Amino acid sequence: MTETISAPPRDLPAAVEFQEASDGIECYRLPKNGLRVLLLPQDGAPVATSMVTYHVGSRNERTGHTGATHMLEHLMFKGTERYHKRQGTSIFETLQAVGAKVNASTWLDRTNYYEMLPTEHLPLALDIEADRMRGALIDTEDVEDERTVILNERDRNQNDPVSRLFDEVWGAAFVAHPYHHPTIGWKSDIERMTPDGLREYYDTFYWPNNATLSIVGQFDRGETLAEVTEHFGEIGPAPREIPQVTTEEPEQSGPRRVTVRQDGQLGAVLMGFKSPPALEADSDVLDVVARILASGKGSRLFQRCTDRGLTSDVFGINFRLRDPGLFSVFAYLAPDQDHPTVEDAIHETIEDLQENGVTQEELDRARSQLRAQIAFDRDGPMRVASQLNEALAAGDWKLYTQYLDRLDDVTVDDVQRVAQTYLRPDRLTVGRYVPTS
Amino acid sequence: MSDSSSPTHSSPALAPQIQDRTAGPGRLLTLRTSVDDVVSFRGSFVTNPDLAAGDALRQQLTVSLLDKGTEHRDRFELARVLEACGAKLDLSSDGLFVEMSGRALVDDLPRVMAVAAEMLRAPAFDPEEFRKARAQVAADLQRRMEKTSAQASTALSQRLFPEGHPNFSPLPETVLEWLEGLTVQDVRDYHEAHFGSTEWTLAVVGDLQHDEVASVVGETFSGWAPHDAPAVHDTDAASTDVGRTAVPMPDKSNVDVRLGHTVPIRRDHNDYPALYVGNYILGGNFAARLMSTVRDEMGLTYSIRSSLSGVSTRHVGSWQTSVTLSHDAVDEGIAATRDVIREFVAEGATAEELDAKKTTITGSYSVGLATTERLAQSILTNAERGFDVSYLDTFPEEIRALTLDEVNAAVQDYLDPESIQEALAGTRPRSMEAAAA
């Protein structure tokens, strides 16, 4: 079983409270403002990754304000009073000057900002992240400049018919829950977003008690915690309660269909089944189902579809999200194949799994693949931080550390039961990409 | 596994820790790091394709058949070995080389190497699998035809290089025609003539014991003979009048633009490091001039970069700027990009910029070597270039030693705004209509 310890390490700075540890990751809290800090000290190259995950994503956006999370993420690089281009201290310039790999990303349940850099410069990353947690300027002029940048980013996404297909399927599958709208936002909302609106959003969600700071790599625990305290310790907590999403998606009562027509060459199919929240045990089982269905040449859909020339590629993706998401099967059609043939083949494969279950060998193979994947994901601080980020977004960082134990609990009966429960037509949204050329 | 040598920790010097030896018919470079259980590997051999005669496609098709069955095991047996242990093994065609890369848990390395050697040395080339692989390559090409980025890159390569140059990309429509005419015998002949241990080099990095890896690799690849195909590729650039190629694509609201010209030096030229740094100041990262002007200040693009592309010790390459522009910003975006380039070449970099980029490049170099995968890749690339292992450690020193005069001289000697060729792909803006008229 995964080791979980409750004893705090020695020499802890007074302003830091130890909470728990799991599989080498230590969890602390700054009692003064509620900032959670996760540390994973590693041997290896003298580099570290610092990452701040804000527990805000496009799920938190209201109608008319879609894309706000992502736009704010861009504005967070435009600067603060101390770190600003006009002073020659832009965030990118300052961090990249010391060799940092620096960026951010926004998704449905979270926004994260990260720096991977030589350990000696870790205090600089902490200083910048602490400074922009409450000090972002969000200038009117910067908002205007960034608006066109984001519209171009959106145009790039729209160039890709598969990207449009995913947007359409999620849009049809979710009618009430905010997973309905794309993270980048609707074009009309991006065009109308105001600096005041972004400021209000920032003032609502960007607080230490709505964030987790993760540090992974080669570093000294005591020194690093002291740096964390120095930089983040004086920031106050949110003056108001952080709003939570309470909308629940109503139960779907039948299959839904969407079609994307766009110039292109090869068609594609995306089938999304409503799936449970990431933290539920059935979500672990769906990870296994995705592997058995579509991972590698031994998988069922490869053998039924790709090997028989129906598809050129087929993928199984279990989107593990905080609220119910979509278990998805995505396939590129092979040349000269049609959508009904491919959809029928996918349905047949799923029905066979539902009726006859899977073999112990298939389950063991899927588990071995996932175990190896986890070992690979510990290769380098950035990989670990990325995995941790998604576990945080799902609602519990220990989903990362306890994942192997959770997988051990999955049985062949679970696989069949979960396939029968979730991969049903009345939970399904099917999207077709139909090339028009 | 245990080993008497100590793993890599804080020491930045790699070369003393890399064991460089002959194992079987090739060169083996191994590096032990502190990662747990995992090894990454990357290897290559030179194939010497006749690119002007269409060998790039023959090579791609040959490689795509390697995992589709051998003289000893069918495709599913091969896959089962890898999938049962969660290992990854990729074989790919890369210009003058065929590359092999992957990762495995260290105890599984012997069986993964055995599968790799079997695929490379004794592929079955079954006619039915050939038919499927050809359809798969056709599907990949068709998907590539949908991408504005791929179309723009292909168009620029055609303006810069002759057909026999490794950086030349034939039009996808042409490749599809060639594909129709290929037979399984063509693939067998190509394998016979171009596959072998010629310059075979393998880098393995991770939780390993050097001698054990050498023993496994030596035995597995024992008896693999070199081929005798001579190098016939073009090494120099094409001479084309300065101009523009426009690839009209409906439904693509983002236009991908490539600007560039060839550079007459190879990777081992004395001026290369200065030119590399000069380009980095212009467009190497977020904080470089192109990004900070065209994106940050003007808001015209989501992404703009410049790079030295395809510059090898075996042939010349090019200097390219890539920019994505929304349909209505194409003219303004290209003009702004050209203005930044002109000003940079005319006035040169500043001492502050050089100092900043020196630390960026040397810092990001060490950050980039934080995973076994990247280490294996860097060690192999260094070997393919014919550089001594010690260059992995002296590269940062070489960068730090550059003077402003050297960098600006290289920029003015090798970058010429008046020689820039243009290629665009996307939905026709007015400027493209004019060019086509």
Cβ A328 vs Cβ A270: under 8 Å: yes
Q: In the predicted model, is pLDDT for residue A9 greater than 80?
A: no
Encode pLDDT of B162-181 as tens digits: 999 999 999 999 999 999 99
Q: Is A402 helix (H, G, I), strand (E, B) or coil?
A: coil
Task: Tell me whether strands B317-326 and B304-309 are parallel, antiparallel or unpaired.
Answer: antiparallel
Using the Cα atoms of residue B145, residue B301, residue A181 and residue A389 in order, give the sign of their dihedral. Answer: positive
d(CA A6, CA B294): 52
Map residue B39 onto helix, strand or coil: strand
Is B37 part of the contact surface with chain A (CB cutoff 8 Å)?
yes
Closest residue in chain B to residue A144, using alpha carbons only: B299
- Is B15 in the A-facing interface, judged by CB distances under 8 Å? no
| Measured distance CA(A222)–CA(B282) in Å, rounded | 40
Instruction: State pLDDT tens for residues B418-437.
Output: 999 999 999 876 555 554 43
pLDDT digits (tens, 9 = 90+) for B114-159: 999 999 999 999 999 999 999 999 999 998 999 999 999 999 999 9
Among residues B74, B259, B77, B104, which one has the least CA distance to residue A369? B104
Q: Do A90 and B287 touch (CB under 8 A)?
A: yes
- For the four alpha carbons of B234, B236, B239 and B240, in that order, the dihedral sign comes to positive
Assess contact for A100 and A121: CB atoms under 8 A.
yes
How distant, in Å, are the alpha carbons of B25, B303, B330 from that of A149?
Answer: 52, 8, 13
User: Exposed, middle or buried, B346 (CB in 10 Å: 0-12/13-18/19+)?
Assistant: exposed
Write the pLDDT tens digit of every residue in A367-425: 999 988 888 888 889 999 999 999 999 999 999 999 999 999 999 999 999 999 999 99
Q: Which of A99, A313, A412, A297 is nearest to B285 (CA)?
A: A99
Residues 43-102 of A with CB under 8 A from B: 43-47, 85, 90, 92-93, 96-102
Tell me the C-alpha distance between B209 and A292, whole Å: 33
pLDDT of residue B8 exceeding 90: no
Query: What's the pLDDT tens digit per position in B286-322?
Result: 889 999 999 999 999 999 999 999 999 999 999 999 9
Please report residues of B whose CB lies closer than 8 A to that of A45.
8, 33, 366, 369-370
For the full predicted model, state whether its pTM sits above 0.80: yes
Exposure b/e, B270-298, CB count within 10 A at least 16 = b: ebbbbbbbbbbbbbbbbbbbbbbbbbbeb
pLDDT band at B43 (very low <50, low <70, confident <90, very high): very high
d(CA B6, CA B286): 38
Pick the residue of B6, B70, B145, B302 with the most A CBs within 10 A to test the interface with A by mutation: B302
Side chain identity, residue A114: Y
State which residue of chain B sits closest to A151, comparing Cα positions.
B326
- CA distances to A64, A214, B220, B308, B355 from B278, in Å: 45, 35, 45, 10, 12
pLDDT on residue A88: 86
The helix or strand, by DSSP H or E, that contains position B94, with its residue range, turns out to be strand B88-94
Question: Least CA distance to B354: which residue of chain A?
Answer: A97
Contact status, residue A229 vs residue A196, Cβ threshold 8 Å: no
Q: What is d(CA B216, CA A215) in angstroms, rounded to the nearest whole number?
A: 37
Residue A378: predicted pLDDT? 84
ipTM, 2 decimals? 0.86
CB < 8 Å from A in window 296-335 of B: 296-303, 324-327, 329
- Does the structure show a pLDDT above 60 at B254? yes
The two structure tokens encoding residue B425: 């792909």
Inter-chain touch B38–A97, beta carbons under 8 Å? no
Query: B54 to each of B63, B138, B152, B153, B181, how far by Cα in Å?
Result: 15, 15, 21, 19, 11
The mean per-residue pLDDT over the stretch A202-229 comes to: 96
